[in-house]
Amino acid sequence: MAATKVESLTNPRDSLPNVYTGVTAREVDFVTRFADNWDALRRILGILRPIRKAPGTQLITYTASVELESGDVGPGEVIPYSKATITQAAKDDLTIEKYAKAVPIEDVNKYGAEIAIEKSDDAFLTKLQNVVLNRFYTFLATGTLTGTADTWQKALAKAQGEVLNKFASIQKDVTAVVGFANILDAYDYLGAAEISVQTQFGLNYVKDFLGYSTLSLLPARFIPRGRVIATPVENIDQYYIDPGDSEFSRLGLNYTTQGETSLIGFHASGNYSTAVGESYAIMGMKLWAEYLDGIAVVTVSAPASGGGDAPSGQFDTAVKAARASVSK
């Protein structure tokens, strides 16, 4: 008697059409598009190559200061040390996050596979991408290099000057500064000016604006009107856990990943007991700033009035909660 042939993704039963070829291609497409989107976003923000970390790695951000002693030292005299102080300001764990979605056969029957599956995959990918970005925007608002200005343009200039001065004081090079501002403030300022606002993957931004390599324009839920945030690109790191780690496969969990830098793992399969197509994604990724006092948060003392203002109290409450969470 011939041995039973075991069905698998790569070895389906001969009596059935090889539907898994399409599923595998869909998995590759999903992780490739996710990686391509992040490559583009890194270029926009000026972030260097992602840094791979082991599961359970703790990310730490610091504040730094130097008390410079006099350089007027006589011949043969002992040169006094300038006191450098590095203080841990915040920390957070880099952990694997797990997500799943399901598409019932009723949706495929009603809308067709292209809409029911591909459109839901697109939405799923965007939501996963925004998880990382949204968390980063909230983290940026906890920057401790604070100040005020009386106009939006002056706030942009002050924020940039503050971070340049800070990094110079700790002898760190700065090649470019990125900024983050409320989109309504930006359009109020731009008015009829012929400045091109670009949009990619839901991110609105202006390149080479008032000394900033990139100025990202965010909705009020991330940055209220009358507030500007700036930090050097050298202060932003992207850390990730490789979802293709061989340790996960020992549990029988095999996710499709892409390239040497695997930011996300994706797996799709059908569930006959519920007649749905299931999709699973895992990722462990954070955008992080090395120096919390390398993030300038400047508030306009008299913000422009107009529709769409965010309740400042609600935003500040969210910022306080974020500070508390990263300081545990």
Q: Are residues 219 and 298 in the same domain?
A: yes
Most trustworthy range by pLDDT among 47-56, 79-88, 108-117:
108-117
Asked if the structure places residue 265 within a domain, the reply is yes
For residue 91, is it within any domain?
A: no
In a domain, 24, yes or no: yes
Residues 209, 156 share a domain: yes
Residue 247 within a domain: yes
pLDDT tens-digit map of 215-266: 999 999 899 999 999 999 999 988 898 887 767 777 888 889 887 778 899 9
Return the minimum-mean-pLDDT range out of 4-13, 20-29, 54-63, 305-314.
4-13
> Which pLDDT value is given to residue 99?
94
Q: In terms of domains, do 182 and 225 share one?
A: yes
* Over residues 289-313, mean pLDDT: 70
- The answer on 250 and 179 residing in a single domain is no
Determine the pLDDT at residue 246: 61
User: What residue type is 59 in one-letter code?
Assistant: L
| Residue 80 confidence (pLDDT) | 81
Reported as a single tens digit per residue, the pLDDT across 8-30 is: 334 433 433 333 346 788 899 99
Q: What is the mean pLDDT of the chain?
A: 80
- Is the pTM value of this prediction over 0.75? no
Residues 51 and 184 in one domain: no
Which is more confidently placed, 306 or 193? Answer: 193
pLDDT computed for residue 311 by the predictor:
42
**Residue 285 in this model has a pLDDT that exceeds 80:** yes
Q: Is residue 70 part of a domain?
A: no
Q: What is d(CA 120, CA 231) in angstroms, rounded to the nearest whole number? A: 35
Does the residue 15 lie in any domain?
A: no
Based on the fold, state whether residues 265 and 307 are members of the same structural domain. Answer: no
Q: How far is CA 202 from CA 123, 156, 217, 223, in A?
A: 12, 23, 10, 16
Question: Count of domains in the chain?
Answer: 2
Q: How many CB atoms within 10 Å of residue 101?
A: 16
* Mean pLDDT, range 125-141, rounded to an integer: 90
> Which residues form the domain of 203?
144-237+292-326
Higher pLDDT, 208 or 310: 208
Same domain, 190 and 269: no
Asked if residue 313 and residue 191 are part of one domain, the reply reads yes
Same domain, 111 and 227: no
What pLDDT, on the 0 to 100 scale, is given for residue 2?
A: 41
* Residue 299: predicted pLDDT: 96
Residues 24 and 123 in one domain: yes
Q: Which residues pair with 270 in a beta bridge?
A: 277
Tell me, yes or no, whether 82 lies in a domain.
no
Judgement on whether residues 224 and 211 belong to the same structural domain of the protein: yes
pLDDT by residue (tens digit) across 69-102?
787 888 888 888 777 777 766 667 788 899 999 9
pLDDT at 50: 83
In a domain, 152, yes or no: yes
Q: Are residues 148 and 227 in the same domain?
A: yes
